[in-house]
Amino acid sequence: MADLFLGAAIGPPFQILFDCLVKVPIEKAVMFKGMIIKIKQKVQAMNPLINQIVESNMALDRQKSEMEEFVLKMVKGKELVEKCDKYSNWKYMWKRHGYTTKLQDLDESLDRLLRILPLLIARTTNETHMLVKEIHASTVGGTSQGNLRQIEVKGSCNVPEPPDFTVGLSDSLEVLKMKLLRVDDVMTEPILVTAPPGCGKTTLIKKLCNDDQIKEKFKTNILFVTVAKNPNLGLIVQELYQHKGYSVSNFKDNKDSELKLEELLREIGKEPVLLVLDDVWSGTESLVEKFVFQIPDYKILVTSRYPFPRFKHQYEMKQLSDEDAKAIFLHYATFEDENAAIPNDLLKKAVDYCKRVPIALKLIGSSLRGQDPRFWHRQLKKWSTDDSSILSSESDLLSCLQTILDVLDEKHAILKECFMDIGLFPELRRIPATALIDIFAELYGVTEDDAITNLYELRDRNLANIVVTRKDADEIDDYYSEHFVTQHGMLRELALHQSKQDPLEKRKRMIVEIAGENLPQWWKKQIDQPFNAHLVAFSTDESFTSNWCDIKVPEAKVLVLNFQTKTHALPEFVKHMSKLKVLIITNYSFLPAQLTNFEILDTLTNLTRIRLERISIPSLKETHIVLKKLQKLSLFMCEIGQAFSCIKISEVFPNLEEINFDYCNDLETLSDGFCDLIKLKKLSITHCHDLSSLPDDMGNLVNLQVLRLRSCIELEKLPDSICTLSKLTFLDISDCISIRNLPENIGQLRSLRNLNMKNCWRLVELPSSVLDFQQLKDVVCDEVLKQVWEFYLPADANIELRLAKDDVNLYWLDS
């Protein structure tokens, strides 16, 4: 970084020049009148800007030598103006040319300074805020008892937004509000909200936490934690620390987690606290008691489908009225501009069949929307003859929801498969959309565009939710690393229920969830018979220590491994998966985990896509792997270390076409070896905050079409060689706040069509070659850079300058 130039230093020489120009009688400066007037107008326009800089002693982020040159120009400018005043008589005509040239030089310097000063001020004002928001969300550090060290990053316990349409919750809201707004010296008992699955418990709590009176009382101390089936106390406490902006440490054991939890709650408990523990399962209610402390005005709200007798304060949600149930069904079954021409008798039978369960009304209504009227009548008559009671058991509810899949079967077979594939990932986790895209693309032969379209189709049918953590979510740039999929627990249970309809050895999807040492019976028997599954998923918790059994899944094309331990070994059975195309490994603990037995990947000769999350990548030199068919490598929040050192990367991945580094905090430089990947088409490095330089030979990537360098806040420049990338169509340097200049010949990128460059605060000038772009049509930028572009572009330029939303949303991390 260059030394910052303190703005106060520019004040005195400017004031001297300003005063000198004020004293010069324009009417007497005959020979230089026009130039003197121009210079005087520029100086008057600069006066308020200079005053603003001087008063705040603003640190101007330009090269010190450059700003000192401006100061020298002003000093000499004062002398020049005085001489022009002295020699303004026509008898000194012979001096005119020399002084006119010098005045023109002064005018050009002032013109340039006048142009960049507003940009420097705007950038300096915003940059500090931008830096704070771009701190890596997984910052870690120690804490000491009674002395919590607070940082600026906040995390994952924000209250989710409630759905736009809700009915029938008003009475419940008022009852719970009364309980929470009551002032207690000490609140020791949790409030338990119970109802059968799919009846709106979580929706009720979301609306409650977003109520104005509740937010006024608890302010930033509303903590929303999803507990789910196999909770991990240590992870929950780490999420709470992160959310409140405190540095996070590893805990020795559960006892240490409990001590740190109490420390945090007592620290933030100086103000009222509301803790929501959502979706607590039977058998895990003892976890709730670990959050109970004698703290004034500390409230705990618990939701569960199970009534727990040990909790004194319970509230059971009431069933929907007929009118509310009909309203929900009609809302999801018809379009807004469509008259609900559903015969009353059929409508009543459909609502009765759903037993007024909100999730059933919503999903079955959505499955009928847009269908042919005859299909409506056929389905509703079919359902109305079924006498089963949805509320009699969860299995009956699943049977009811099964009708949704029957509808998909008729017209959207691939969409049904995509829905089923979401069940490969653990319950109530945010699933990276890119992981699902990889699965859909390889298994069903669809393009990545079609794959993301399928996810949005599932969303439109209310079979999944899509969370986009970037604020410019409307940008269409094929960047989905900040798209996540979530799903109601009952929908995942539906997918698992459907997967289990066939015998274990014949199932298309093998989904195995292991808590501790509770192994499935077939695991213990060490079955020799091969399984027919094409998709295999194993999810284990932090206490899993067993050795993998040697199963045989020769037809597997997708393997998903989800774990929570500090170290994890790739199972030996992987080497039998000769047809494997997609490997997705996710560590759900808080810090990157060591992955051992990595060399086994060398046996997977058909592997085309790998996605690793929170993994410490081992040295590829030591593993000796060669993946000849690998086309896409995605590393999310991984430790890169020396993984790519001392190897010829093009020999390890000779056919690699796409690399994604996201939130890899220790990636400081990109190895030169990556420049030998001549088949590479997409290179994405985002939120790698320590990345400071790129290889000089990036021009060797002759087939590169997409270069994305979003939020690499230490990156100062782009290598000049990128100007030779003749196939590059998309360049993204958004939020690269340290880039000062673009390559001088960037206009040689003849194929470039899209350029994203918002929040490049240090970039206040463009090279003249930007006028040479031939295909550039779209520039996404901020207000400041829009002004810069408008200065360079001619009025008839065929380039659209679009303003991006000036915000960065990092409060998303959901462990």
Which pLDDT score is estimated for 369? 78
* Structure tokens given for 28: 């007497």
**629: Cα separation from own chain's centroid:** 29
Distance CA 755, CA 777 (A): 9
| Per-chain mean pLDDT for the chain | 81
* Helix axis angle, 96-133 to 33-56, nearest 10°: 30
Distance CA 404, CA 490 (A): 13
Q: Is the pLDDT of residue 288 over 80?
A: yes
Residue 347 burial (10 A CB sphere; 0-12, 13-18, 19+): middle
Which pLDDT score is estimated for 809? 44
Instruction: DSSP for 675-744, please give it.
Output: GG-TT--EEEEES-TT--B--TTGGG-TT--EEE-TT-TT--B--GGGGG-TT--EEE-TT-TT--B--T
Strongest mean pLDDT among 74-88, 316-330, 475-489: 316-330
| Residues 6+ positions from 537 with CB-CB distance below 8 Å | 423, 424, 425, 509, 510, 511, 512, 559, 560, 561, 562
Nearest Cα residue to 438 out of 452, 424, 456 = 452
Strongest mean pLDDT among 164-168, 418-422, 488-492, 782-786: 418-422
In the structure, how many helices (H) and strands (E) does the chain have?
Answer: 23, 26
Contact predicate 582/439, CB 8 Å = yes
Neighbours of 589 (CB within 10 A): 20
Query: For the chain, how long is the longest CA-to-CA vector?
Result: 112
Distance CA 171, CA 765 (A): 60
Amino acid found at 561: L
Which pLDDT score is estimated for 348? 79
Amino acid found at 522: W
Span 313-323, average pLDDT: 90
Say which residue, 86 or 103, is predicted with more confidence: 103
Distance CA 487, CA 164 (A): 17
Cα Rg, the chain, nearest whole Å: 32
Calculate ∠ Cα 425-438-548, nearest 5°: 45
Nearest Cα residue to 583 out of 649, 654, 635 = 635
Nearest Cα residue to 625 out of 664, 665, 570 = 570
Distance CA 394, CA 620 (A): 48
Span 655-660, average pLDDT: 97
Q: Is the pLDDT of residue 14 over 90?
A: no
| Residues 6+ positions from 524 with CB-CB distance below 8 Å | none
* Structure tokens given for 368: 């009928």
pLDDT tens digits, one per residue of 552-607: 899 999 999 999 888 888 998 999 899 999 999 999 888 889 999 999 999 999 99
| Residues 6+ positions from 95 with CB-CB distance below 8 Å | 87
Q: Is the pLDDT of residue 787 over 50?
A: yes
Distance CA 215, CA 576 (A): 55
- The DSSP element (H or E) to which 329 belongs, if any, is helix 322-333
Q: Is the pLDDT of residue 427 over 70?
A: yes
- The DSSP element (H or E) to which 444 belongs, if any, is helix 433-444
Instruction: DSSP for 589-622, please give it.
Output: SSS-EEEE-GGGGGG-TT--EEEEESEEPPPHHH
Amino acid found at 424: L
| Residues 6+ positions from 83 with CB-CB distance below 8 Å | 99
Nearest Cα residue to 300 out of 181, 206, 191, 184 = 191
As a dihedral over the C-alpha atoms of residue 362, residue 364, residue 367, residue 373, rounded to 10 degrees, the angle is -110
Which pLDDT score is estimated for 268? 92
**530: Cα separation from own chain's centroid:** 39
**Which of 65-79, 252-266, 350-364, 767-781 has the weakest average pLDDT?**
65-79
Q: Is the pLDDT of residue 393 over 60?
A: no
Strongest mean pLDDT among 190-204, 234-248, 542-556: 190-204
Strand ranges inside 17-150, DSSP E = 59-60
Tokens 């199972």 appear where? 571
Neighbours of 44 (CB within 10 A): 12
**733: Cα separation from own chain's centroid:** 16
CA torsion sign for 755, 761, 762, 764 is: positive
Q: What is the 3-state secondary structure (H, E, C) of 262-274?
A: HHHHHHHCCCCEE
Instruction: DSSP for 765-802, please give it.
Output: ---GGGGG-SS--EEEE-HHHHHHHHHHS-TT---EEE
> 3-class DSSP state for residue 509?
strand
> 3-class DSSP state for residue 650?
helix
Distance CA 540, CA 546 (A): 10
* Structure tokens given for 771: 């006028």
Half-sphere CA count of 685, side-chain side, radius 13 A: 24
Band the pLDDT of 154: cuts 50, 70, 90.
Answer: very low
DSSP state of 662: E
**Which of 201-215, 316-330, 461-475, 672-686 has the weakest average pLDDT?**
461-475
Say which residue, 408 or 331, is predicted with more confidence: 331
Which pLDDT score is estimated for 462? 86
Contact predicate 141/247, CB 8 Å = yes
